[in-house]
Structure 1
Amino acid sequence: MDTPYGSVPLPVWERPEPAPRAAPVSLSRAKIAAAAIRLADAHGLDGLSVRKIAQELGVGPMRLYDYVLNRSELLDLMVDAVYAQIADTAQPGHTTQPGDAGQAGDTGWRAAVLAIVHRTRDAALDHEWFADLLGARPHLGPHALAVGESTAAALRQAPGVNGVDALQRALGALNAFIVGALRREITERRTARSTGTELSAWQATLGPYLTRMLETGRYPTIAQLVTDGAHLDAEETFHHNLITILDGITSRPRP
Structure 2
Amino acid sequence: MLIWERPEPPARSTPSPLDRERIVRAAMRLADADGLEAVSLRKVAAALDAGPMRLYRYVDTKEELLDLMVDAVYGEIRVPEPTAGDWRARVRSLARGTRDAALRHEWFADLLGGRPHLGPAAIGHLEATAAALRSAPGLGDDASALMRSMETVNAYVLGVIRHEIADRRAERASRLTEQQWQAAAGPYLNRVLASGAYPTLAHIVANAAQRDPAAAFDTGLDMLLEGIAAASRSGPGTTTQN
TM-score (norm 1): 0.87
3-state SS of the aligned residue for 1:166? helix
In structure 2, distance between residues paired with 1:246 and 1:187: 25
Deviation at 1:206, TM superposition (A): 1.9
Could you say which residue in structure 2 is the equivalent of 1:67?
58
3-state SS of the aligned residue for 1:13? helix
Deviation at 1:93, TM superposition (A): 10
Which stretches in structure 2 are left out of the alignment for 5+ residues?
none
Letter in 2 for 1:60: G
Could you say which residue in structure 1 is the equivalent of 2:112?
134
Letter in 2 for 1:89: V
Could you say which residue in structure 2 is the equivalent of 1:50?
41
Total equivalences in the alignment: 233
Q: Runs in 1 of length 4+ with deviation above 6 angstroms?
A: none
Matched, 1:197 2:176: yes
Aligned partners of 1:161 and 1:170 also within 8 Å: no
Could you say which residue in structure 2 is the equivalent of 1:90?
80
Identity %: 50
Which stretches in structure 1 are left out of the alignment for 5+ residues?
1-9, 95-106
Stretch of structure 1 that moved more, 45-54 or 194-203: 194-203
Could you say which residue in structure 2 is the equivalent of 1:167?
146
Aligned partners of 1:160 and 1:249 also within 8 Å: no
Letter in 2 for 1:145: I
Could you say which residue in structure 2 is the equivalent of 1:120?
98
Matched, 1:146 2:124: yes
Aligned partners of 1:110 and 1:154 also within 8 Å: yes
Q: 1:85 to 1:93 in 2, by over 3 A?
A: farther
Stretch of structure 1 that moved more, 34-43 or 16-25: 16-25
Deviation at 1:204, TM superposition (A): 2.8
In structure 1, distance between residues paired with 2:183 and 2:224: 35
Aligned partners of 2:30 and 2:38 also within 8 Å: yes
Q: After superposition, give the CA deviation of every residue in 1:139-183 in whole Å (9 maximum; x if it has no partner).
A: 100110111111101111111314111101110111110111110
In structure 1, distance between residues paired with 2:222 and 2:183: 34
Letter in 1 for 2:209: A
